Amino acid sequence: MGASKKPARGSVFFREVVGATAVDPHLEACLQCGTCGGSCPSGNDMEHTPRTLFAMIAAGMRETVLRSNTPWYCVSCYYCMERCPQEVHITDVMYTLKRLAIKEGFSRQSSAAQAPAFSETFMEHVERYGRSFELGLITRYFLRHRPLDTVKIAPIGAGMLRRKRFDLTPRKIRQIEQLQAILARADELERNAYRV
C-alpha cells in the first residue's frame, strides 16, 4: 500500500511483505546490523532472529520465512524498533508475517501453534460484544484448543473470580451494530488488499 509508489525492489516476496503492511515499513533500509535480534527478549526462542528473517525475505525464501516461529514469538515490545538505526518498522513487519502465515495455513505448524487460535477467539468476542470478555476468552480458548491444559489454568480462573477480577457475563457496548458494520467494511477492504 504505502510503498506502491516506490520503484520495485527486492524479491517478489519482499514486495509482497511491504505491500501487505499498511504503512511503509522501510524494510529496504535494513543494513543487517543485528541490533534488533540482540535487543529482542524472545530472541533465544526464535528460530531466526529478525535480522536473519529480513535477509531471507530479501532473498525471497517465502515458505521458510512464513513457517518460522519468529513472528509468533514476537511479543510486540517495540524494543527493536526503538533501537533500529534505520527506523525499520520491525514490529509491523512481524504482524504482516503473522497474517501472511495464517493466510497460507502455515502458522499452525510452527511451535507457537496456539497463537492464531488465541487471537481469533479474542476477536470473536470483540466482534460480538465490542469489548473483550476475559472469562469467555480463557474458557473457550482452553477448552477448544488446549483441553489438556485446562486443569493448569483452572485455579487461576477461580482466583480471578474470587477476587472479582473476572466478569461472569460479557459487557456489550450500546452501538454494537455500528461497530459490526465498521468491522465488516474493514474486512472487505482487508480482503481486497490481498487480492493483487
Partner 1 sequence: MQYGYYPGCSLERNAGAYHESTMAVAGVLGLQFTEVDDWNCCGATEFFSVNQMQAYALTGRNLALAADQFAPKPALPVIPVEVAEPPQLVAPCSACYLNLSKVDRYLASSPELAAKVNTALDAGGLHYDPGSLRVRHLLDVMVNDAGYDAIAARVQRALTGLRVAPYYGCLVVRPGFQGQFDDPEYPTTLDKLMRVLGAKVVDFPLKAHCCGGHMTQISEEVALELLRRLLKNAADYQADVIVTLCPMCQLNLDVFQRAVNRRFGTNFNLPVLFFTQLMGLAFGLAPERLGIGKEFVASRPALAKIGTSVEVEQERAVGKRAKQRNDQSLPMPYMPEEEER
Compute the Cα dihedral for 91, 95, 100, 101 and give only its sign.
positive
CA dihedral 38, 43, 44, 45 (to 10 degrees): -170
Alpha helices per DSSP H over 112-175: 115-129, 134-145, 150-162
The distance of closest approach from Cβ of residue 31 to partner 1 in the complex, given in angstroms and rounded to an integer, is: 19
- The mark string for 115-154 relative to ligand SF4 (x by CB under 6 A, - otherwise) is ----------------------------------------
The count of residues interacting with partner 1 (CB under 8 A) is 65
The count of residues interacting with ligand SF4 (CB under 6 A) is 28
- Asked if 118 interacts with partner 1 (CB under 8 A), we say yes
Q: Which does 12 bind (CB under 5 to 8 A by kind): ligand SF4, partner 1, none?
A: none
Q: What are phi and psi of 8, to 5 degrees?
A: -60, 135
Helix (H, G, I), strand (E, B) or coil at 170: coil
Instruction: Give the residues lining the site for ligand SF4 (CB under 6 A).
Output: 30-36, 39-42, 50-51, 54, 74-80, 84-86, 88, 90-91, 94
